[in-house]
Structure 1
Amino acid sequence: MKKLLEISSNSQNKHWLDIAEIVSVIGSVGGSVASLVSNQFLFASLPLSVCIALNLANRRRLINLLTQENQKAIATIVQQNKEEQTNLSEQLQQLKLSTHDKFARQSRDNQANFTTLSTQIAKVEQLISDLNKLTQTQSDRLKHLNHHQNHLEKAVSYLSEINSCSQALQLAPFSAELYYRRGNSHRHLGNKYRAVEDYTKAIELEPHHALAYHHRGLVNADLSNKKAAVEDLRKAAKFYFEQGDLIDYQKTKDMSLALHELNSDTTENTSSEQVLASTLFS
C-alpha cells in the first residue's frame, strides 16, 4: 500500500479515482455521523460501499501502474545489459585483434630473427668450410714442400757423394768400391748411362763384384737392355751364391728368370709379327 501510495504521489497529476476515493472517505465519515444522529444505518453503509469500491478500483489502477513501471525498469535493465554486452563484445573483439596483431608481429619478428640467424650460421659454416679447404691446401703444399725438400736433400747428398768419390778416385783410381758408390749416386739421380759406366769400371777392376753386376742389371732393365740385364743378374746371382749370400742370390735369380721370360715373350711376339708381315706382303 505504501509503495502504491508512493507511486501515486509521484504522479504529476492526481487521478480522478484518487479524488473520488477521498470524497468517498469524507462521505463515509459524514454518513457515519448522520447514521449515529438519525439511527439510520443506510447513511453509513452506502458511502462506505462506494468508498470500498473506489478503493479497490484505485488499487487495481495502482497495481497496473506498478506493473508498467516494473516493465519499464526491466526493459531499461535489459537495454543496459545489451549495451554492456555489446561493449564487452567490442572490447573482446578489440582484444582479439590486438592479440592477433601482437602475435603476428611477434611471429614476423621471430621469423626475421630466425632468417638472420640461419644466414649467419650459413656464413659461419661457409667460413669453416673455406678454412678447412685452406688448411687442407696448406697441408698438401707443406707435404709437397717436405717431399721436395727431402728430394733435394737426397739429391744434394748424392751430388756430394759423387763429388767425394770423384776426388777420392784422383787419389785411388783403381778402387772398384769408389766407382760402385759413384754409380749408385748417378743411378739415384737418374743419370743411368753414367751409372752404367761407373758400374762397368767397378766390374773391370773387380770382376766378382756382385753388387755392381746386380745394380748394372737393374739399370740395363730400365734402359730396355733386357738381354744385358738378364746376363748381369745371372752373374750377380752366381757371385752372391759363391759369397754365401743366399737371400740376394735367390732375389737376383728370380729377377733374371722373370726378365728372361718377359724378353722371350717379347722376342716371340716380334718374330711372329715379322713372319706375319712377310707373309702378308710376299
Structure 2
Amino acid sequence: MSKSPRISFEFFPPQGLDASFRLWETVQALAPMQPEFVSVTYGAGGTTRKLTHEAVGTIHRHYGLNVAAHLTCVDASKAETMEIVDAYYEAGVREIVALRGDAPKGASHWEKHPEGFASSVELVGAIAKTGKFKVRVGAYPERHPDSASTAADVEFLKRKIDAGATSAITQFFFEADTFFRFRDACVKAGIEAAIIPGILPITSWEGTKKFAARCGTQVPARLDEAFTRALRDGRQELFALAQCTQLCDRLIEGGVEDLHFYTLNRPDLTREVVRALGVQTQPVLENVA
C-alpha cells in the first residue's frame, strides 16, 4: 500500500455573510486532516486583498494552521505590495504564494502597474530578499493562456525558482500523465524544487469545464462522456469521488508525495477523497480566546 500523501488545501476569502459561514465550515471540516499548509486566494485583479488578509489572520490565529497567503502584482505599487508582505509577517504568516495575478475585471489583458512589479519573478525575488518567508509559486502543466508554449512555461518557472521560490503548485489537470510529462520537463530543465500537483475535486462538471476553458486545461473527451453518463444516471457524486481518488492514486504511485486540493470552499468531496487516500485525522480545537 502506498504511503499517505502530505496534503494542503486552498480556500478563497468570503465576500458576503453566507460565503463567510461556508469558509469557516470548510476550515473546520478540513483542519482535522492535518494539512501541511492552507492557502487563501486573491480575487481577480486583487479585488479581495483586504478580505484575504483578514481570512489569513483569522485562520492562523484560531486554528493554528500554517497559512500560505496569496499575493499578486496586480493594481499595486512595489511599496504597497511590500507593505502587504510586512503585514502578513506581523500577522504570523511565514509562507506566501507569489503570483502575477489575473487582469482586473473588465480588462482584456494583464498590465503592469506603473510603479509595480513587472512579473511574478520580480515579486518572488523581492519577497525572498526579506529572508522571512517560504515562497511558493504557480506552475502550468498545460500551456498558460498567455504563454507561447509549454516549454516557455517551464523556463519561466525556472526563473521563479532561481529568484528564490522553494516550491510550485500546479494548475489543476485531469490526467496523471499530464503532470508526469510536466515534471519530467522540469527535471530536464534543471528545476530541483518540489512541484506539487493541484487537484480539483469536481462538484459541478459544467462549472469545471468553464473553469478549464479559462485556464487552458484540456478536458479529455472520455471524461466528459463519463461525467455526462453519471449525471444522467444520478451517480455524479460517486463518480466524482472515484475520478478524483483514482487520479490521486496514480500520482502517488508515480512518486508524488504532496497533493494540493482546490476546495472552492466546499469541503465534503475533498474530505472524502483525502480519507480514501488513508490520511489520518485528529481533533482540532478552535482557539476562541
Same fold (TM over 0.5): no
Greater relative contact order (Cα < 8 A, sep 6+): 2
Larger helix proportion of the pair: 1
